[in-house]
């Protein structure tokens, strides 16, 4: 069975018989593959081979490209094609600019009410998971738990749009880590910072938590930017 048939088959298992979801399915598959690192930053996504591999038409594939392009997971260059996004230094600055507004605001402006309760648990769980991953030496585990933590912070807002924006930003962060294999010792120091943030938040010291997080984000940004400037790239 060829790759094309395998994927087309997968599709029939996944969305068998359903109408009006092919484009979504395609964008979902590509998102996964990119997040998993199977399609590294810079990879060209040629239309014809991909169509055959996925078992869909060019039109449908292009619809998926539109979606991913809007999410910045993929870069479309007119008349040249689409490529898996390779974040630049400016992209990193933009990502952290967004995070520096969104995350502290989520901490500071959210009243500790019925919404915050379940999410506090979610945050504590993410911290626990990160600690376990650190103990096990699992870098992907730490990265995942860290993303879950920051997604949880924005979830405090209860806003669907802000959550979606944060999800996109975190997806772009994954591309940053794949662009430079600077995953090694990046996450470890922040596990304890995350724990401290939850602690402060649980104690009702919201503005302290926000301040800590702001400093934290500035440090992380600087670290990534200097890593990007290194000989590695």
Partner DNA sequence: TCTTTCAGATTGTTGAACAATCCGTCGAAG
Partner DNA sequence: CTTCGACGGATTGTTCAACAATCTGAAAGA
Residues that bind DNA (CB under 7 A): 17-23, 44, 46-48, 55-60, 62, 76, 78-82
Tell me if 100 contacts a second copy by CB under 8 A. Answer: yes
46 binds, among DNA, a second copy, none (CB under 5 to 8 A by kind): DNA
6 binds, among a second copy, DNA, none (CB under 5 to 8 A by kind): none
Compute the distance between CA of residue 124 and CA of residue 147 in angstroms, rounded to an integer: 13
User: Residue 101: helix, strand or coil by DSSP?
Assistant: helix
Compute the distance between CA of residue 108 and CA of residue 210 in angstroms, rounded to an integer: 6
Number of residues forming the site for a second copy (CB under 8 A):
31
Comparing CB distances to DNA, the nearer of 62 and 134 is: 62
Tell me if 66 contacts a second copy by CB under 8 A. Answer: yes
First CA to last CA distance, the chain: 39
Tell me if 31 contacts a second copy by CB under 8 A. Answer: no
CA distances from 159 to 69, 110, 154, 167 (A): 23, 11, 8, 12
Comparing CB distances to DNA, the nearer of 29 and 155 is: 29
Helices 47-54 and 3-14 pack at an angle, to 10 degrees, of 60
Q: Are 99 and 169 in contact (CB under 8 A)?
A: yes
* Chain residues that interact with a second copy, rule: CB under 8 A: 19-21, 23, 59, 62-63, 66-67, 70, 78-79, 94, 97-98, 100-102, 104-106, 109, 157-162, 165, 169, 214
């Amino acid at each position: 069975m060829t790759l094309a048939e395998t994927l087309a088959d997968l599709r029939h298992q996944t969305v068998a018989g359903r109408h009006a979801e092919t484009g979504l399915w395609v964008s979902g598959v590509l998102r996964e593959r990119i997040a998993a690192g199977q399609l590294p930053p810079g990879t060209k996504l040629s239309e014809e081979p991909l169509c055959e591999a996925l078992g869909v038409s060019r039109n449908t594939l292009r619809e998926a490209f539109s979606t991913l392009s809007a999410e910045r997971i993929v870069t479309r260059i007119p008349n040249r094609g689409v490529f898996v996004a390779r974040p630049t230094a400016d992209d990193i600055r933009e990502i952290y600019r967004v995070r520096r507004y969104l995350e502290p605001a989520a901490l500071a402006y959210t009243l500790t009410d019925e919404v915050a309760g379940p999410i506090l648990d979610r945050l504590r769980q993410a911290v626990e998971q990160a600690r376990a991953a650190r103990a096990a030496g699992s870098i992907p585990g730490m990265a995942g738990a860290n993303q879950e933590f920051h997604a949880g912070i924005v979830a405090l807002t209860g806003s669907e749009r802000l959550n979606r924006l944060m999800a996109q930003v975190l997806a772009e962060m994954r591309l940053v880590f794949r662009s430079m294999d600077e995953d090694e010792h990046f996450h470890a120091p922040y596990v304890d910072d995350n724990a401290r943030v939850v602690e402060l938040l649980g104690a009702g010291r919201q503005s302290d938590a926000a301040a800590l997080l702001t400093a934290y984000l500035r440090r992380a940004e600087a670290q990534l930017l200097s890593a990007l400037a290194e000989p590695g790239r």
